[in-house]
Structure 1
Amino acid sequence: MSWQTLGLFLVTFFFISATPGPNMLLAMSLGLRFGVRRAAWGGLGMVAGLTTLAGLSVLGLGALLAASEAAFLTLKWAGVAYLTWLGWQTWRAPVEPVRAGEAPAEDDTGTAGRLFVRGVLVAFSNPKALVFMAALFPQFIEPAQPLLPQFTALVSLMAVIEFGWILAYAAGGHTIAARLSSTRAVRSLNRVSGGLMIGAGGLLALAKRI
C-alpha cells in the first residue's frame, strides 16, 4: 500500500468519523455524565466493536446485510431499541442534592467494565457501519499486494482516528458538565445525555442500506 493511498484514507475517514452518529453521541453523553477518563473506557469499547465489525466486513457479512433487507432491518431495530433504552435510563437517572457553590458529585454508576461493554454494544447496534465498511475498504486496497497487511494498516488507522474523535466529543460533554452546579442543572444534564442517546437511536432508525 502506498503512502498516498494511506493518506487519502486518513483524510477520508477523519471527516467521516467526525460526523455525529451513535458512537459520537454516546461519547458526548458519557463525557457529560462520567468525565473524559471514564468515557475513554466506553470509547475503547466502541473502537473494539468497530474493529470487530471491520473484520466481519472482510468475511462478507457486510455484503450479506447489504443484500438482505430482513437481516439489516432486524439488526437496525434491535440497535434502535437498545439506544433508546440507554437514553431513557439516563434521562431518569437519580439526582443527588448539590450544595450551593459545590460541583455535582461524580456519578459512580459507570464502572470501566460496564462502560466498555456499553461502547461495544453501541458499536454493534449500527448495522450500517458494517455495510459501510464493506463498501469503503475495497476502495483503498491494492489487489496486487498482500491483503492482510493493508487491512491491518487501514483498521489501525481507523481505530486511532475514531478514538481521537471520541475523546474530543467526551471532552466537549465534560466541559459542559463542569459548568453545572445545581440539582436542577444536573437533572438537565441527565436529560441532555439521555436525549443524545435517544437522538442516536433516531438517527439509526433513519439509516438505510447503502
Structure 2
Amino acid sequence: MRFDLWLAFVLTTLLISATPGPNMLLMLSHGTRYGWKATTATMAGACAGLAILFTASAFGLAAILATSATLFLLLKLVGAAYLVYLGIQCWRAGETLALPRANSNSTASRFRLGLTVALSNPKAILFAGAFLPQFIDPHLPQQAQWGVLLLSFFVIESSWQIAYAAGGARLAAWLQQPKRVRWFNRGCGGAFFAVGGLLALARQ
C-alpha cells in the first residue's frame, strides 16, 4: 500500500476516533463504573459491531443507505432512540455508579451493550462505504490494501477505547462524593442525549 495514503488515513482516523461519539462515551461510562479491565468486554462488543457494519458495507449496504432516504432515516432514528435510552439510564442512576437494570457482574451483558451501541449508528456503514475507499489505490492489489486499512482502523479504535476506559477508571477515584457522582451521571446522560439528538437530526 502507498505510504502517503496510509499515513493520511491514520492521521484522519486518529482524529475521527478520538471524537467522543457513542462508543467512546460508553467506554468512559463503563470505565468509571466497572474499571477498565471489565470494560474490555464492552470494547470487544463494540469492535465486533463495527466489524459487522464493515462487512455489511462490503456487501453493498452502504450504497443502499446512501440512496434510500427512508431506510437511512429509520436506522438512524432507532439508533438515536437507543442512545437516548442509555442517557435516561445514566440520568436515573442519581448518586450511585450502578445503572438501573444493569448487570455489572455480567461480562456477556457488557459485550452485548457494546455491540448494540456500535450497531446503532448507521453512519459507521457509510464510513466504511464512503470514507475508506478514498484511501485505496486502484492500481495496486485491493485485498491487501483493505486489510491494511481495516487493521489500522481497529488498532486506532481499540487504543482510543482503552484510553477512554482508563480515563474513566481514574475518574472513579475522584467520584467519592455522592454529589460528584450525581453530576457525572447527569453529564453522561446529557452527552448521550446530545449524541442521540445529533444522530437523529443528521442529514443523509
TM-score normalised by L of structure 1: 0.86
User: Is this contact kept in 1: 2:13–2:156, CA < 8 A?
Assistant: yes
Regions of 4+ moved over 3 Å: none
* 1:132-174 deviation line (CA, Å, top 9, x unaligned): 2211121111223332222122111101101111121222222
Matched, 1:195 2:162: no
Question: Unmatched 5+ residue regions in structure 2?
Answer: none
Please tell me the root mean square deviation across aligned C-alpha atoms, in Å.
2.2
1:73-123 Cα shifts (integer Å, max 9, x gaps): 000000011111122122223756xxxxxxx89x98322211111111111
Matches within 5 A, 1:41-190: 41-93=41-93, 109-110=103-104, 111-190=106-185
Aligned to 2:35: 35
Q: Aligned partners of 1:91, 1:35: CA distance in 2, in Å?
A: 20
Q: 1:202 to 1:35 in 2, by over 3 A?
A: farther
Is the 1:56–1:130 Cα contact (8 Å) retained in structure 2? Answer: yes
Contact 2:94 2:181 in 1 (8 A): no
Give yes or no for contact 1:33–1:189 (8 Å, CA) kept in 2. Answer: no
Q: How many residue pairs get matched?
A: 201
Find the counterpart in structure 2 of residue 206 from structure 1: 201
Aligned mates of 2:202, 2:35 — CA distance in 1: 29
Q: Secondary structure at the match of 1:37?
A: coil
Partner of 1:101 in structure 2? none
Q: Unpaired segments of 5 or more residues in structure 1?
A: 97-103
* TM-score under structure 2 length normalisation: 0.88
Q: Give the structure 2 partner of residue 8 of structure 1.
A: 8
